[in-house]
Structure 1
């Protein structure tokens, strides 16, 4: 009979502190039971991390699980782990029956992330107990302040519990009392207490590991009398604990429970492998043999004890007085056992959480290799890499990704961020109700519509525009158009392309009170009444809006063909994966169900239980946030394959409006022409989104040169256009994470609201009096006038040419600044090329980042960062006379006047924020742009 098997004769049960699939399936566990008298098995996150990440046992099972449906790392881990636990439980079941429920257990731990949450621990333990469904399962619950009441509740419900992370005798007493109280409750409810078991896992070697270091420091300082205490504290502590065990489970109260078949809660000696190689490898087995105890050993310790261990019956009860003397000597030396054990609980929770992070990270990596997800790679220098790694470590330690998904506003500023997180779950929600969109799509297709026009601004329009331009026109479905400009020429151009009798309009507004969609509706309502009559115009209109909005009320009153609701807890720029993006997508003929299924892979990959270093959205967000905050790289330059180039405009809005406030933020740059590496400052991060099969050689070569020059580059490989949704979600998570690092609320837009207030006051003035006073220009020539507020005018001085004014103005842009051209004119190809030429010349001359926005479109996008972000922008606002204005039905003002009010409101807020801004007004857009371009060329020849 080997030493392990002899332990049974002493009353101690040997358990194995290890589990792995091959151990069970190849018969090794059964051999240990038969040969060594093994009585049970324990597991923990560290054990499963080594098992799943370090072996090939789980590959086929994981692949089959994912083939059926995609799952997050937590679900995958539980699927794999619970399968092992069930099989081990079946192998151990004969032991369980033979010992009448005293032994034969396998343990499974509740998530260590829940160690300080009583109710969550209870719920998790109940769920795991039900999922395993084996009578010889023990659910492991930590002996934290929150864990102890959970233990009482769970025992009181008849669950068997392994109490883990016990170090201090007083805490053990609390645990034992909680166990007894739970049994009494269970018995009082008519439960059979003989079917409930528990062990109290008392950790050993970790105590010596800490105390020996403190002792050695004192010995090295000259107190050599402390040498005999080395390696003695843990055993002495365990001896005292065993003494308390015998007293706690005796007396009338316990005898009454024992009479009903109750089992004592045995002490289980855990952490029994020696950490100090100079100590005997069987130290914490031989010295802790005792009746009604368990010793759970890792394989190496079990092998050592089998080979040369000595069985000393009742060793744990020997020299108890000596044990107490050791503990008193420690106290006299200034070493606090109470503090050491308290710290060890905290550290133990952290170690298990760290192991769980590693486990979930390993599972996430295996999952990512098996599902269809856009892959990203990052190239950057060592300094930024190191800073990101440090931030990752902090986010892991604080569980910030889990907190983000839980809606914990402390991740950001602690204000109302928790009210704006509906986008996190929207993909699942929309997929569950995708049938509504499928039926709507068929109604659109069968309705014979040739054109689909979205009337919206900002978040409600930019996402659908990306989808329309990326997916292209689907034969047999209406052709998509978008109106997000109050420019009269833009509206006329759009109307000329439409056959109104075959046009469907989507009026898109979250609040239902946004100025632009409302006046667009007024205009096209009047035009449709003229075209199809008062009885049928509303059949051509759809409303997408939040529940209870003014738009919903109007749509119901007028009997719109369809009304779709958004989600109030999703802000406009995060709404593309809600009805605001999906209704237009369905009407265009996009397979919304497939689109959501593909997008869901990224949602899962960015989930709450994916550690930050394996989380695609969090990784990107950390890069952007750290680069901006610590390295002043706050310009995010977006380069995208031609077919998905419009994604940049959506990203501009998301990033700028979310992060640009309180003097901080990221400045995104969309569609900036490629330039020589020498024109780029050290204030940029480059995001290269390359569509498979649509890679442009010039872009690829350019990005490679940027990376070689030391600029941070994120390369994102988009598998096909259907994977665009994954980028929507990746960047939403990234923006939220970057906002947390920067220290702002990424879900509000205070400076956009300020501009809206200014605009509303001006349109009200137009409504009342038909006009507002205009300031005199500081310069006028050749159909171009320059306007500046007093401060900017003084800074520029007086000059006699447009070129000199522009040279002085843009000469104020220095390293780390950016130039933004804000053009309140029709957005078309000719105007875009002219402004792009100006933008490029300015970028190359001043070697600063450049932005180009058409107003009022950009007001609901980058306008927030321009006003609320860092004061590093040099702005040129371009306005122009409207050759042919359009009245707004039902109002005294025109579209041209609304546009003028928006421009003036925008300018006023920029001035109030102390921005370097100049306005040029063009008498005629075409000739004025040529004059402007020539002046810039002359200024920076």
Structure 2
């Protein structure tokens, strides 16, 4: 007789610890059921990892699933795993029916990531039970402390449960108690407990492996040969002794009156299932953990090799209750030797959770890699050339993130990933893509209304996150036929405001007032100005030209209703401004401009899936980018130089805000550098990391990047398939920035130092409202059309360094303070037109090339809501030159004494005041008269100072 089948006559069932698609499809499982009497199948992450990750037999199914629409990695895995479980259950259903539900089960494990999460285990077990939809399913739940209440509750709901990772007799007793209590509760509710089955998976060979290792250590330390020999007799005996005594507890429980009462109602015993029965030690019999554990009401789940071995030469007789005194003596002798079985079993539970989690990481990583490969150009790729040291650090960080489950914790909104403060409140952007996909009809109705109204222009009035994201969309996407041209106005410079006004037809323009809080100075002033202008030139109520995007209950919402705005769109209170582009703050302007939001969100969703909680760090593009940037910051390479193809180059300005405002605080920062053209390697110090976004086919910067790489600079290349994929990059960099902040050790979602400049600005504008003028200032030097200002401390230091009666001397002394690892920033409170931008860029590049230093260029007040946070809250490594100018023509703000020019001047002074209060090296140059001539004079002075 087949020894495997013969086990049935001794009351033991053989289950197979293996599952794979081809194994079922080719009839191998069915053959084992018929030939060998296999009565069940167990699965776990390790089994699925081998089946899916080590073969291509699932690829066709994955490809078919993805053709029906993109899916998350966990969805792809579960789709094939559940189908395999269903197919295996169907093969075993005749066995289940023949034995009246006593056997014929297939086990599917809840995620090992939930081993310490009772509520998560409950939720997932119920979901898997429903998804598989087979009565001969057993859901596997780990026998951890957190798993015990889940076991009881699930049993009380009528689910059949396989409790896994049991090593300790004590814990097994608790598991059996949980099963019985669950049955009692189910029966009390009128449930049919005869339909509920359970096994307790008691692991064996792993115990011997651990115990033998400690026994060997004791043998090596013993001086007495007799003691050495006695200790050696314990090897290979502990696991079986432990299992036999666990079975004795089982026998005692099922003879109790409590159990008999349940049995009378049809209850089925919870069978002990011997798991981990493949022999690890080659010195032991390959069927040791089958032959020594044969007895009634038990199951042995074996890997294929053990099954083959037992079929070939297994010996069958009742062994489970043989030599019980000797079993007890083995455990007593183990304790006498100073080896704690409790410590071994506690460690094995912890280690088992870890190993299954690692297998799940490998499994999901393999699925993620397959998904990425199958999507091809539908998802943007990235490549890292970091050098040996940064590569090593990034790998170590990746291993830490995987071991600590930080990616999953991030998605669970666990503030301990960062500083443990209020981070959990600000993670609404994580699921923004899916949420906004559900709002597509609303956006489509709005887009249709805009098109019917025949607006020629749409102007976003916002600052920071409310303007920079829409600006990327405006410059990346071509104007859609029949829709207005999208403009962004995020300045209080009178010339810039007037220039935008002249470029539009007020009677055919839609204004989108965007402010999360509703109290931001700039968009409110711009709203008041254009509302009055439309009212003056239009015969209509001006409100029909306005919509608002703001958080619920804000002051802007109240104003919008009072003024008759045609719509108020609510932003998400749990999404900060710089993370808000994939929310109404970015999508309302996009809809107004006729951008295909369905395609935009589908593309962004592909990256959201790639960066999801189910994708382990080594395959997660957002986490990998963030860890690389964090590693660079730790290594002193804290200047992130951003470059991009022309059509998407404005992405850099959005990324500047995201990175600077998120990381720049508590004396730490990544300093992002957008629009600094790539130079030769020798103009850069050892504080740089380069990130390039290249559209498909664009190789214009590759020679420069390759030269930087050869010179030892870290280079990260992101290949963007198409400009319409910009949504993918928004999401990638949001994840990456949040991850980098974790590595750096700061809260990604606050901006404490932005508020400081706002406070000073409000004080100055209040003084103007009261006195009709801003406080007087006295220049240190006036040189032609330029005047120099700074605080007393900076002035004293610069005079000591040789500053005298010329602007060039002050700049020379100022630039002399630049040290290795510093950066220079030009902060211009002037019109951001093409000529002014070019002039500022000229000075910037001159400083970079002469001083071999990173350079930033920002236009105020726009940068106040962006890089300004890092300038004030980051490390004191910035050397600042602020540029201000008299306005050729000012513009009034309706309802205020303060004009746009006064507001801008107050913002510049407030900004400069905070810089100097923070002991920053700062100098202000003020232009009198023509701005163009003033910028030319500044460039001449810069050239002289650097010569």
Query: TM-score, with normalisation over the residues of structure 2?
Result: 0.98
Structure 2 matches for 1:184-333, cutoff 5 A?
Answer: 184-222=184-222, 224-225=228-229, 226-311=231-316, 313-333=317-337
Q: Say whether the 8 Å CA contact 2:879–2:922 is kept in structure 1.
A: yes
State yes or no: 1:647 paired with 2:651: yes
State yes or no: 1:337 paired with 2:338: no
Q: Say whether the 8 Å CA contact 1:290–1:316 is kept in structure 2.
A: yes
Q: Say whether the 8 Å CA contact 1:455–1:507 is kept in structure 2.
A: yes
State yes or no: 1:919 paired with 2:921: no
What is the alpha-carbon distance in structure 1 between the residues aligned to residue 573 and residue 176 of structure 2? 49
What is the alpha-carbon distance in structure 2 between the residues aligned to residue 866 and residue 885 of structure 1? 29
Which residue is 1:883 aligned to?
888
What is the alpha-carbon distance in structure 1 between the residues aligned to residue 120 and residue 482 of structure 2? 52
Which residue is 2:612 aligned to?
607
What is the alpha-carbon distance in structure 2 between the residues aligned to residue 881 and residue 29 of structure 1? 85
Residue-by-residue CA offset, 1:592-646 (whole Å, 9 max, x unaligned): 11111111111111111111111111111111112102x0111110010011000
What is the alpha-carbon distance in structure 1 between the residues aligned to residue 160 and residue 542 of structure 2? 68
Which residue is 1:516 aligned to?
522
Residue aligned with 2:858, SS: strand
What is the alpha-carbon distance in structure 1 between the residues aligned to residue 485 and residue 300 of structure 2? 73
Aligned residues: 936
Q: Say whether the 8 Å CA contact 1:656–1:665 is kept in structure 2.
A: yes
What is the alpha-carbon distance in structure 2 between the residues aligned to residue 603 and residue 810 of structure 1? 44
What is the alpha-carbon distance in structure 1 between the residues aligned to residue 104 and residue 594 of structure 2? 59
Which residue is 2:733 aligned to?
731
Structure 2 matches for 1:170-181, cutoff 5 A?
Answer: 170-181=170-181
Which residue is 1:820 aligned to?
825
> CA, structure 1 residues 280+911, in 2 after alignment: closer, same or farther (shift >3 Å)?
same
What is the alpha-carbon distance in structure 2 between the residues aligned to residue 99 and residue 482 of structure 1? 73
What is the alpha-carbon distance in structure 2 between the residues aligned to residue 339 and residue 192 of structure 1? 40
Which of 481, 484, 496 is residue 502 of structure 2 equivalent to? Answer: 496
What is the alpha-carbon distance in structure 1 between the residues aligned to residue 601 and residue 687 of structure 2? 36
Which of 354, 360, 367 is residue 364 of structure 2 equivalent to? Answer: 360
Which residue is 1:405 aligned to?
411
Which residue is 1:796 aligned to?
798
Which of 625, 628, 637 is residue 630 of structure 2 equivalent to? Answer: 625
State yes or no: 1:854 paired with 2:859: yes
Residue aligned with 1:82, SS: helix
Residue-by-residue CA offset, 1:263-295 (whole Å, 9 max, x unaligned): 211111000011111111111111111121111
Residue-by-residue CA offset, 1:169-228 (whole Å, 9 max, x unaligned): 111111111111111222222222221111110000100111111111121223513111
Which of 539, 563, 566 is residue 561 of structure 1 equivalent to? Answer: 566
Residue aligned with 2:374, SS: coil
Which residue is 2:123 aligned to?
123
Structure 2 matches for 1:469-480, cutoff 5 A?
Answer: 469-480=475-486
Which residue is 2:441 aligned to?
435
Q: Say whether the 8 Å CA contact 2:202–2:243 is kept in structure 1.
A: yes
Which residue is 2:684 aligned to?
680
What is the alpha-carbon distance in structure 1 between the residues aligned to residue 565 and residue 737 of structure 2? 36
How far off is 1:2 after superposition? 2.0
Which residue is 1:805 aligned to?
810
Moved more, 150-159 or 253-262: 253-262
Which residue is 2:672 aligned to?
668
How far off is 1:789 after superposition? 0.7
State yes or no: 1:714 paired with 2:720: no
How far off is 1:475 after superposition? 3.1
What is the alpha-carbon distance in structure 2 between the residues aligned to residue 263 and residue 893 of structure 1? 83
Residue-by-residue CA offset, 1:357-382 (whole Å, 9 max, x unaligned): 11111111111122311111111112
Structure 2 matches for 1:364-375, cutoff 5 A?
Answer: 364-371=368-375, 372-375=378-381
Residue aligned with 1:672, SS: coil
Which of 381, 406, 416 is residue 387 of structure 2 equivalent to? Answer: 381
How far off is 1:775 after superposition? 2.6
Query: TM-score, with normalisation over the residues of structure 1?
Result: 0.98
Residue-by-residue CA offset, 1:859-890 (whole Å, 9 max, x unaligned): 00000000001111000000111111111111
Which residue is 1:762 aligned to?
764
Which of 704, 707, 712 is residue 705 of structure 1 equivalent to? Answer: 707
Q: Say whether the 8 Å CA contact 2:622–2:733 is kept in structure 1.
A: yes
Q: Say whether the 8 Å CA contact 2:783–2:805 is kept in structure 1.
A: no
What is the alpha-carbon distance in structure 2 between the residues aligned to residue 112 and residue 11 of structure 1? 31
What is the alpha-carbon distance in structure 1 between the residues aligned to residue 699 and residue 196 of structure 2? 67
How far off is 1:926 after superposition? 1.3
Which residue is 1:2 aligned to?
2
Query: What are the ranges of 5 or more consecutive residues in structure 1 without an aligned counterpart?
Result: none
Q: Say whether the 8 Å CA contact 2:829–2:908 is kept in structure 1.
A: yes
What is the alpha-carbon distance in structure 2 between the residues aligned to residue 800 and residue 754 of structure 1? 33
How far off is 1:683 after superposition? 0.8
Residue aligned with 1:363, SS: helix
State yes or no: 1:656 paired with 2:678: no
Give RMSD over aligned pairs: 1.1
Residue aligned with 2:445, SS: helix
Residue aligned with 1:369, SS: helix
What is the alpha-carbon distance in structure 1 between the residues aligned to residue 130 and residue 594 of structure 2? 44
Residue aligned with 2:320, SS: helix
Residue aligned with 2:740, SS: helix
Q: Say whether the 8 Å CA contact 1:272–1:284 is kept in structure 2.
A: yes
What is the alpha-carbon distance in structure 2 between the residues aligned to residue 116 and residue 504 of structure 1? 53
Residue aligned with 2:384, SS: strand
State yes or no: 1:932 paired with 2:938: yes
What is the alpha-carbon distance in structure 1 between the residues aligned to residue 593 and residue 133 of structure 2? 49
How far off is 1:696 after superposition? 4.5
What is the alpha-carbon distance in structure 2 between the residues aligned to residue 894 and residue 56 of structure 1? 68
Which residue is 2:839 aligned to?
834
Query: What are the ranges of 5 or more consecutive residues in structure 2 without an aligned counterpart?
Result: none
Residue aligned with 1:178, SS: helix
Which residue is 1:741 aligned to?
743
Q: Say whether the 8 Å CA contact 1:692–1:719 is kept in structure 2.
A: yes
What is the alpha-carbon distance in structure 2 between the residues aligned to residue 63 and residue 345 of structure 1? 37
How far off is 1:681 after superposition? 1.1
Which residue is 2:84 aligned to?
84
Which residue is 2:29 aligned to?
29
Residue aligned with 2:668, SS: coil
What is the alpha-carbon distance in structure 2 between the residues aligned to residue 104 and residue 125 of structure 1? 19
What is the alpha-carbon distance in structure 2 between the residues aligned to residue 178 and residue 58 of structure 1? 38
Which of 580, 591, 594 is residue 575 of structure 1 equivalent to? Answer: 580
Residue aligned with 1:370, SS: helix
How far off is 1:476 after superposition? 2.5
Which residue is 1:67 aligned to?
67
What is the alpha-carbon distance in structure 1 between the residues aligned to residue 158 and residue 566 of structure 2? 57
Q: Say whether the 8 Å CA contact 2:680–2:707 is kept in structure 1.
A: no
Which residue is 2:150 aligned to?
150
What is the alpha-carbon distance in structure 2 between the residues aligned to residue 202 and residue 439 of structure 1? 60
Which residue is 1:596 aligned to?
601
Moved more, 747-756 or 791-800: 791-800
Which residue is 2:57 aligned to?
57
How far off is 1:532 after superposition? 0.7
How far off is 1:336 after superposition? 0.2
Q: Say whether the 8 Å CA contact 1:811–1:846 is kept in structure 2.
A: no
What is the alpha-carbon distance in structure 1 between the residues aligned to residue 777 and residue 541 of structure 2? 46
Residue-by-residue CA offset, 1:489-514 (whole Å, 9 max, x unaligned): 11121122122122111111111110
Which residue is 1:529 aligned to?
535
Which residue is 2:431 aligned to?
425
What is the alpha-carbon distance in structure 1 between the residues aligned to residue 608 and residue 747 of structure 2? 22
How far off is 1:8 after superposition? 1.3
What is the alpha-carbon distance in structure 1 between the residues aligned to residue 479 and residue 187 of structure 2? 70
